[in-house]
Structure 1
Amino acid sequence: MTELKTLSTPASVDSAPRARIHPAWLVAGVGFITLLGAAGFRSVPSVLMDPLHEEFGWSHGTIGAAVSLNLLLYGLISPFAAALMDRFGIRRVVACALIAVAAGSGLTVYMSQPWHLILTWGLLVGVGVGSMSMPFVATITGRWFVRQRGLVTGVLTAAGATGQLIFLPLVSAVAHAHGWRLPSLIVAGAALAVVPLVLLFIRDYPSDVGATAYGAEPDSLVGVRVQAPFGALRALTVLGTIARRPGFWLLAGGFAVCGASTNGLVGTHFVSAAHDHGMPPTAAASLLAVIGIFDVAGTIASGWLTDRVDPRYLLIGYYTLRGLSLLILPALLGPDTRPSLWMFIIFYGLDWVATVPPTVTLCRELFGNDGPVAFGWVFASHQIGSAVAATGAGVIRDLHGNYDLAWYIAGALCGIAAVMSAVIRRAPRPA
């Protein structure tokens, strides 16, 4: 008996599933590639603005209208996409979104009228990338992860910055050398190339492959398929429910300030503001690229911290420090990139989207299975804040001749966002 037991021990160890990679990591990996591409697809129109203007003679306002529609749909389609993922599955929604991006980008080579641009880059690409935005992150992490959920959220969120870093230089170089049509076809081909990966490797729930969410107990309900009967209408149903909760408005208000102080203000007007102080536009644009580099590290670090620190405290810290940095920015701008300005660039990069992992976590805690859809609406407020700040800062520049007031207002709003984060009441944890 002893001999048999001794012989059987190695076999049992060899057959143990400990060495296998949990399927959650495979889903997260394909999700990272998908988000990487979505971020690049969304940012391409800004690079093609001048080539389109030179060839067709369309005004920057006309081309900007297509970009604006793209940005608006990127935010507003998010909660509906999250609801559709609950109803029809992640694979189907993301595959259809990639096909929409490919169609929108590829069809641009045949356009001859301004409305063609609005239909393709504005509507089709906007709906496509909006369906693969931040709620996609919330859906994957909410279904597939219990342990390391914050870290994975940070890594997937960082895919946005990484996608821009990869695509923008490539698209700019190709457009300069070969015209704008080849980059459009490259985007279409890249989107179609990801479709097989999504269909082959992404599953909607861990229970579909006989597994549990990573880090979940065997009897946990996390990652178990739940049929959602309402489809796209569920987004409106969830909104009607969460709108009665103060926590939703506090999160949405804070995230609107986040969008206003990043994409809307710094992302849109930093180059112009630096140029007002004598800095060459190329140097200012390079500083924005550095922000994107540090954004990756900051978002991943924020995800790691979210697993270990109360997410409200993280939001308080992020908004407070961001507000203080914006208040002193007018004194840092000048014709040269001084060390103090470099410190601002590095810090702002680390803080750029660090708010995403704790916000996703709070949506999951406060709204349970409705968390991804709720985060879709919170993210929509982010884009609305971006749009308001992009317009408002331009008006301030026209009226006062500089952006100083815009920086001060944004700094004050960040302080308000920190207070809003402080008064959020977390849901009680189960014993």
Structure 2
Amino acid sequence: MTQTQTRTRRVHWAWIVAGVAFVALVGAAGFRAAPSVLITPLHDEFGWSTGTISAAVSINLLLYGLMSPFAAALMEKLGMRRVVAGALLLVAAGSGLTVFMTESWQLLLLWGVCVGVGTGSMALTFVATVTSRWFVKHQGLVSGILTAAGAAGQLVFLPVVAWLAEDGGWRQASLTVSFAALAVVPLVLLALRDRPEDVGTTAYGATGTDQAPPPAVDPSRAATRAVTVLRQAVKNRTFWLLAGGFAICGASTNGLIGTHFVPAAHDHGMPVTTAAGLLALVGLFDVAGTIASGWLTDKVDPRWLLGAYYSLRGLSLIVLPSLFAATTEPPMWAFIVFYGLDWVATVPPTVALTRKHFGADGPIVFGWVFASHQVGAALAAVGAGFIRDHHGGYDPAWHIAGGLCAVAAVMSLRIGSQRRAAPATAAP
């Protein structure tokens, strides 16, 4: 075998980076979701109200989204390897130190702020950064696979954390999360690389014309860069269309279904364990749906994909109230399969559109778009609860969400087909 043949068969560094990113994203999703199964154990031991404990989860969710654009800017300043390793250490500290807490404010600080900031630094902007720097070919497919890591993380970690909390107490579960985060740090330091030129190669599938120079960034002002990019992006109509649609995406997934599906099903006589099992299946089908969406993004106009995803999601939400029953019937199974396939299928085409319209600023712009996703999720979670308290049921919430999805479909289709954004914006 010649030296040339050996070189062509060698695994491209881009796939190694993608593999390490997948592991980190799986962990981030599991770490972020872990507090949801610790509410009852913490309430039983400390007597804290569910609202107090839930506040920590809410802070966690909001910071998970709001940290994204700043994390993207930090990755330009310090590099992906340092940011991701630091984020994992912060998650490990936030989770591990909870075993010593005695007051509720410590829960808000540790699970809310520390874990929220840590996991937010490994959010979907990390996906956008990896695909933008390391891939020209198969960008949509890779972004779909990495996005699916979020669902995989919840599937892997939540059952384990729940079992540990029930069998050995919540402290054992918290320490397990801490040790898992620490275990990923050496892998990140050894195998994650910031840019192709760091290892003497080019992005996967790149030609000479595809390689763009790194954006000009003042290395001392990453936060300023994130804000500066936002100030430029808000002048672009495409940004508002993407952010508005993604806010509705968050409202109709994490905020509504993720938070209120189980209590809504229980209102109709379905056992909580059965409803929770159905929600877990949504996460299972989400993996397949997101990867398929990434593959389609490489072949179909992302605007049309988003229009189809939001339209079909809206229709499914409108019919959902008629599907609830004490037992799981075939129409409900069909809803679970479809909603799982559609859950975050919107991410790969949204990443592709931000990359197309905002160029080198795309990862940071997507960070702000993703922040709108989490804000939408938070508002929907609160709003649906208010509807349930005042109307005795969730039916208006499903119908409102269905109508909003129709709005998101229209917004997606109105995105221009030509890139109009300015070149990468440097911090002053």
- Same topology, TM > 0.5: yes
Amino acid at match of 2:263: S
User: 1:354 matched to which residue of 2?
Assistant: 345
Q: 2-side partners of 1:57 and 1:428: how far apart? A: 55
1:334 to 308, 311, 325: 325
User: 2:103 matched to which residue of 1?
Assistant: 113
User: 1:4 matched to which residue of 2?
Assistant: none
Asked if structure 1 preserves the Cα contact closer than 8 Å seen for 2:136 and 2:203, the reply is yes
Unpaired segments ≥5 residues, structure 1: 1-9
Matches for 1:17-416 after TM superposition, within 5 Å: 17-222=7-212, 224-229=213-218, 230-416=221-407
Asked if structure 2 preserves the Cα contact closer than 8 Å seen for 1:252 and 1:378, the reply is yes
Q: TM-score, normalised by structure 2?
A: 0.96
1:11 Cα deviation from its structure 2 partner: 3.5
Q: 2-side partners of 1:268 and 1:219: how far apart? A: 46
Amino acid at match of 2:410: V
Asked if structure 2 preserves the Cα contact closer than 8 Å seen for 1:171 and 1:183, the reply is yes
Amino acid at match of 2:285: F
The two structures, once aligned, show a CA RMSD in angstroms of: 1.2
Asked if structure 2 preserves the Cα contact closer than 8 Å seen for 1:79 and 1:377, the reply is yes
Which shifted more, 124-133 or 55-64? 55-64
Asked if structure 2 preserves the Cα contact closer than 8 Å seen for 1:145 and 1:213, the reply is yes
Amino acid at match of 2:311: T
Q: Residues 55 and 247 of structure 1: is their aligned pair in 2 closer, same or farther, counting only changes over 3 Å?
A: same
1:194 Cα deviation from its structure 2 partner: 0.7
Asked if structure 2 preserves the Cα contact closer than 8 Å seen for 1:154 and 1:356, the reply is yes
SS in structure 1 of the partner of residue 401 of structure 2: helix
Q: Which string of whole-angstrom CA distances, capped at 9 and with x for unpartnered residues, describes residues 209-262 of structure 1?
A: 11110011035324x544421311111000000000000000000000000000
Q: Which string of whole-angstrom CA distances, capped at 9 and with x for unpartnered residues, describes residues 34-70 of structure 1?
A: 0000000001111111111111111111111111111
Larger radius of gyration: 1
SS in structure 1 of the partner of residue 202 of structure 2: coil
Asked if structure 2 preserves the Cα contact closer than 8 Å seen for 1:239 and 1:374, the reply is yes
Asked if structure 1 preserves the Cα contact closer than 8 Å seen for 2:358 and 2:419, the reply is no
Asked if structure 2 preserves the Cα contact closer than 8 Å seen for 1:314 and 1:358, the reply is yes
SS in structure 2 of the partner of residue 424 of structure 1: coil
Asked if structure 2 preserves the Cα contact closer than 8 Å seen for 1:250 and 1:421, the reply is yes
Asked if structure 1 preserves the Cα contact closer than 8 Å seen for 2:67 and 2:120, the reply is yes
Q: 1-side partners of 2:299 and 2:165: how far apart? A: 45
Amino acid at match of 1:182: Q
Q: Residues 11 and 261 of structure 1: is their aligned pair in 2 closer, same or farther, counting only changes over 3 Å?
A: closer
2:411 to 410, 417, 420: 420
Q: 2-side partners of 1:215 and 1:275: how far apart? A: 50
Q: 2-side partners of 1:12 and 1:101: how far apart? A: 44
Q: 1-side partners of 2:206 and 2:296: how far apart? A: 20
Q: Which string of whole-angstrom CA distances, capped at 9 and with x for unpartnered residues, describes residues 373-407 of structure 1?
A: 00000000000000110011111111111111101
Asked if structure 1 preserves the Cα contact closer than 8 Å seen for 2:357 and 2:419, the reply is no
Unpaired segments ≥5 residues, structure 2: 421-428
Q: TM-score, normalised by structure 1?
A: 0.95
Q: 2-side partners of 1:67 and 1:13: how far apart? A: 53
| Matched residues, number | 418
1:117 Cα deviation from its structure 2 partner: 0.7
Which shifted more, 170-179 or 275-284? 275-284
SS in structure 2 of the partner of residue 232 of structure 1: helix
Amino acid at match of 1:364: R
